[in-house]
Amino acid sequence: MSILDKFSLTGRIALVTAGAGPLFGSSLSEGLAEAGAKVIVASRSLERNLRFAEKLTKRGYDVHGMQLDIRNSESIEKLHSQIIKTFGRLDILVNSARPQVGGGFETQTNDDWMESAKGDMVGLLAICRAFLPDMVTNQRGSIINISSIYGVVANDPTLYEGTDMKPSPTYNFVKAGMINFTRHIANYYGKKGIRANCISPGGYLENQAEPFLKNYCKRVPIGRMLDNEDIKGAVVFLASDASSYVTGVNLMVDGGFTTL
């Protein structure tokens, strides 16, 4: 098998939570589909997922839309049953859903933190628990969790000067925990054929205020923010046999942000 063959995902079944989303989700889904995987995109908006799936299907890819509320255990179990019944197994689980709570440190309440925990912590645990037994049975599985640079370093307050943007402390908290949770899964399930890794993206270009864009691009070594194409290679690598000896890793896709 050539090295290029090892990057192929032909015949693999992949689930991307929030996989039709305007941020990382849609890019992750496209990358996996372009590498040959059969991709399921799932989030609360079934209509959006179906539209996105249809768009990629017209391009010749095998993509399916389903419904999921990552904060609801019944919804997770329903999706699990639907996928196993329809496809027989799941090979790749990409957790990119990120239900966020707005506000800064001074304004976020205890209830805000509990609401964030429902999806970013409890939901992550629940969806891994749902699919891991099937992966263990098949002795193969790749779990990829989408963390953030802010799971590794603290927010740089100078980036927000001249804007009304307020960095969320819950975001730092859950993204840092996700990285170590990934290591736990990697260690616990490694001998059962399961690999677990993280991707920690840098700032994603999404119509931020001009002062923020200027400050961020000045700080990051590559000189720009992350775009749709930048994350595809990372997710295909971690999902494929090209990374068969890689587990427990937090792969920084940040343009060098965390090197400073």
Q: Please, which pLDDT band fits residue 22 given cuts at 50, 70 and 90?
A: confident
Q: Please, which pLDDT band fits residue 99 given cuts at 50, 70 and 90?
A: low
Is residue 64's pLDDT more than 90?
A: yes
Is residue 230's pLDDT more than 80?
A: yes
Dihedral over alpha carbons 56, 133, 44, 54 (to 10 degrees): 10
pTM of the model: 0.96
197: tokens are 């890794």
For the chain, which domains are there?
3-259 (3.40.50.720)
By CB atoms closer than 10 A (0-12, 13-18, 19+), residue 141 is buried
Angstrom distance (rounded) from CA 2 to CA 130: 34
Picking from 240, 197, 194, the residue whose alpha carbon sits closest to that of residue 32 is 240
Angstrom distance (rounded) from CA 164 to CA 161: 8
46: tokens are 């079934």
Per-residue pLDDT tens for 170-221? Answer: 888 899 999 999 999 999 999 999 999 999 999 998 889 999 999 999 999 9
Q: Please, which pLDDT band fits residue 100 given cuts at 50, 70 and 90?
A: low
Q: What does the chain come to in residues?
A: 260
Q: Report the pLDDT value the prediction gives residue 104, as an integer from 0 to 100.
A: 78
Angstrom distance (rounded) from CA 217 to CA 168: 20
CA dihedral sign of residues 134, 137, 141, 147: positive
Q: How far is CA 2 from CA 8, 170, 241, 244, in A?
A: 10, 44, 11, 14
Q: Please, which pLDDT band fits residue 255 given cuts at 50, 70 and 90?
A: very high
Q: Report the pLDDT value the prediction gives residue 25, as an integer from 0 to 100.
A: 93
Q: Which helix (H) or strand (E) holds 67?
A: strand 63-67
- Residue 145 three-state SS: strand
233: tokens are 């290679």
